[in-house]
Amino acid sequence: MAGRHPLRVALLAIAIVAVVACSGPGPVTSPPSAAPGLASGTAPPASLGRAIDPALAENLVRCDVGGDVFPVRLLLSPGRAEAEADAAAAALRAFLADPDRNELGLPKSGWVRIASSAEQGFFVAPMGDAFAQVGVVDGANGWTDSVVGRCLPKRVMGEGVGPARWWLDPAAGPIAADATTLDGLLIELACASARSPAGRLVGPEILDRPDQVVVTFGVRTLPGEQDCTNALPIAIRIELPAALGGRPVLDGAVFPPADARVPRT
């Protein structure tokens, strides 16, 4: 196949997002006014040995380096797209069999078809703590790869709402088992000309499970063209529906959800 693309390494941390499984949005540093919410669904997921709440299966995600929007449920069952009979799957097989691609460390099996047409296909497969992605397209020189790299699925929010990452504030110290509030830091991922997201926060959505707490924030995006100067994180306070009780806390903006103890800056 023509063309050689290096493995693109992006942010880690396709956590998924959390749907409100308890009371409504808790307070933040600057409480948001009414705004589009975070999109969600309720279809039951397939099983992949992961503890995924049924309410999360239809949440929409997109690879952090681009590509089509797709529901999380596609990632919950083992894939076999590399064994299918159509032209896009054949192009994927040829790509994976190319000795020059071995250095990328891509999995040879387990691929899930995220999007496909007569002229192109897009596939992802579990790889380490995230996923690999390969896109193929049928052009003048036959089928070639169009996208190759690491995929960290990020939550697709409601209209006008972009993703944010958050983590526990290290300065707040250890969290007691009876804690019902969490102090954290949050950074907007969309370009915002270095302006603070305070006053534009949406959420949090809180999934309060017996074995973990998943918290997801969005930010209402600014209109017009913005430059991508890095903004500083802002302080947030999250009100929990019940005492934490030693459960792990996760950031639901990505899939798999990210450990909120790990700073994102």
For 114-158, write each residue's pLDDT tens digit. 998 999 999 999 998 889 999 999 999 899 999 999 998 999 988
Q: 53 falls in which pLDDT band (50, 70, 90)? A: low
pLDDT at 49 over 60: no
For residue 182, the model assigns a pLDDT of 97
- CB count within 10 Å of CB 165 equals 24
Radius of gyration of the chain (CA): 20
- Do 155 and 215 contact (CB within 8 A), yes or no? no
Q: How far apart are CA 128 and CA 110, in angstroms?
A: 13
> Distance from CA of residue 209 to its chain's centroid?
19
- Do 160 and 35 contact (CB within 8 A), yes or no? yes
For residue 13, the model assigns a pLDDT of 30
- At 88, the amino acid letter reads A
Q: How far apart are CA 217 and CA 173, in angstroms?
A: 22
Q: How far apart are CA 175 and CA 209, in angstroms?
A: 18
Burial class (CB in 10 A: 0-12, 13-18, 19+), 224: exposed
For residue 119, the model assigns a pLDDT of 93
For residue 249, the model assigns a pLDDT of 96
Q: 36 falls in which pLDDT band (50, 70, 90)? A: very low
CA torsion, points 146, 17, 204, 240, in degrees to nearest 10?
Answer: -150
- Do 151 and 69 contact (CB within 8 A), yes or no? no
Q: How many residues does the chain have?
A: 265
Listed in sequence order, the DSSP H helices in the chain are: 87-97
For residue 12, the model assigns a pLDDT of 27
What is the average pLDDT score of the chain? 80
Lowest mean pLDDT among 44-53, 80-89, 140-149, 211-220: 44-53
For residue 167, the model assigns a pLDDT of 97
Most confident of 5-19, 53-67, 108-122: 108-122
Nearest CA-CA partner of 230 in 178, 265, 179, 184: 265
**Angle (nearest 5°) at CA 219 between 179 and 188:** 85
pLDDT at 265 over 70: no
pLDDT at 42 over 80: no
Predicted TM-score of the model (pTM)? 0.74
Q: What is the pLDDT of residues 203-262, one digit of tens each?
A: 999 999 899 999 999 999 999 889 988 788 999 999 999 999 999 999 999 888 899 999
Q: 21 falls in which pLDDT band (50, 70, 90)? A: very low
> Distance from CA of residue 89 to its chain's centroid?
25
- What residues contact residue 24 under an 8 Å CB cut-off, 6+ apart? none
Q: 54 falls in which pLDDT band (50, 70, 90)? A: low
Burial class (CB in 10 A: 0-12, 13-18, 19+), 21: middle
Q: How far apart are CA 264 and CA 200, in angstroms?
A: 20
- At 14, the amino acid letter reads I
For residue 57, the model assigns a pLDDT of 73
